Amino acid sequence: MNSASAVNSTWVLIATALVILMTPALGLFYGGLVRKKNVLSTLMYSFFTVALISVQWSMIGYSLSFGATRGGWIGGLEHIGLAGLSLDAANDGEIPSLLFMAFQMSFAIITPALISGSFVERKRFGAFVVFTLLWATFVYDPVAHWVWGKGGWLANLGALDFAGGTVVHITSGISALVCALFIGRRKGFGSERMEPHNATMTILGAALLWFGWFGFNAGSALGVSRVAINAMITTHLAAAAAAMAWVILGWIFHKRLSVLGAAIGAVAGLVGVTPAAGYVEPLSAIGIGLITSSVCFFFTEYVVRGRVDDSLDVFGVHGVGGIVGALLTGVFASPDLTPGGGLLYGNGHQLLIQCKAALAVACFAGAATFVILLAMRLVLPIRVTARDEEAGLDLSQHGEIAYAV
């Protein structure tokens, strides 16, 4: 391996570890927001997904996503079981194909874990495992191929998605909405208090997510370059601006300087900048953070909440934030970083492409998730019994409790 490939591989190795850390961090972020009788089950959704999808991705997921295209819709089967992948870089400066597989695996892991926030406190663990496997195979893998695979139809269309606005956030956010509607509300929703049991756990999770997101976005440059540096800076500035926006809006509308609001706002900004991180300039990233956070705040507070039991606002933050971020990429993309730039630089066609990509992914993810849930319901129960829900999923699903007192 030459020196350029070694340097780039070192950075992608670090980025891969950072992104894999994000899924247990997501468990902490979600775990603090649920009632204490469900914290272990919520953590388990994220923790077990790391194991489950690592195996699925190695066996078939990578091949379906990055194998030779079949009409632009799905990858071939030539890389099943990691066949044909190498530890050696093919060309000067490139990273080994096996390392690229590992980096992309970290994205495949966190995406279905995000959906779990929409059905915490009421879904059977066995049903969660089956759903996650089916969803990863029939939703995530095809969309990853559309956007990032060679010959993928959205890639050929010219859609810009630097690190997963469509592939990760729109798919998970829209699917989360479908899950919340399909499975139904928690027992006592709207009549009982369901406040977070441990806000400090959520703040810790948010901090680790923010940290890991540098690997998520800057790692997507696949090497040490000006693009990676730009992606790291834009990621941080968008999150900072978004956290501020959510806190300020919380004060204006609720007269409360919410700590959890700062954490949720930062995540919204990170979601919004994900598709744009390598394509926009730092000041534009601040605008993306402010706009995404504001839209997510109003959508979460005044459209979804109280109507749909999307328990941890997955749709309001990841679905809405992913769509806003995808569209704003078509607005703020700089011609210095991507050919033609976006609407602000006279290329309105890019915004139109972004609209088509966001709409196509949202429709596919929503429809496919509904079909998966419908098929599952025919053969196994998805929701826990009312008695088990009352007892809490920690005890009823895992036979353990998080806190002795």
Provide the whole-model pTM.
0.97
- Domain membership of residue 403 (yes or no) is no
- Domain membership of residue 46 (yes or no) is yes
d(CA 273, CA 211): 15
d(CA 246, CA 257): 9
CATH code (residue 378): 1.10.3430.10
- Domain membership of residue 404 (yes or no) is no
- Domain membership of residue 74 (yes or no) is yes
* Structural domain range at position 177: 3-398
pLDDT tens per residue, the chain (405 residues)?
788 999 999 999 999 999 999 999 999 999 999 999 999 999 999 999 999 999 999 999 999 999 999 999 999 999 999 999 999 987 889 999 999 999 999 999 999 999 999 999 999 999 999 999 999 999 999 999 999 999 999 999 999 999 999 999 999 999 999 999 999 999 999 888 899 999 999 999 999 999 999 999 999 999 999 999 999 999 999 999 999 999 999 999 999 999 999 999 999 999 999 999 999 999 999 999 999 999 999 999 999 988 999 989 999 999 999 999 999 999 999 999 999 999 999 999 999 999 999 999 999 999 999 999 999 999 999 999 999 999 999 999 999 999 986
Structurally, how many domains does the chain consist of?
Answer: 1
Sequence-separated contacts (24+) of 371-379 with Cβ below 8 Å: 372/131, 372/134, 372/135, 372/138, 372/139, 373/131, 373/178, 373/179, 373/182, 373/183, 376/127, 376/130, 376/131, 376/134
- Domain membership of residue 405 (yes or no) is no
Query: Rounded to the nearest 5 degrees, what angle is found at the Cα of 231, between the Cα atoms of 226 and 232?
Result: 100
- Domain membership of residue 385 (yes or no) is yes
- Domain membership of residue 219 (yes or no) is yes
- Domain membership of residue 253 (yes or no) is yes
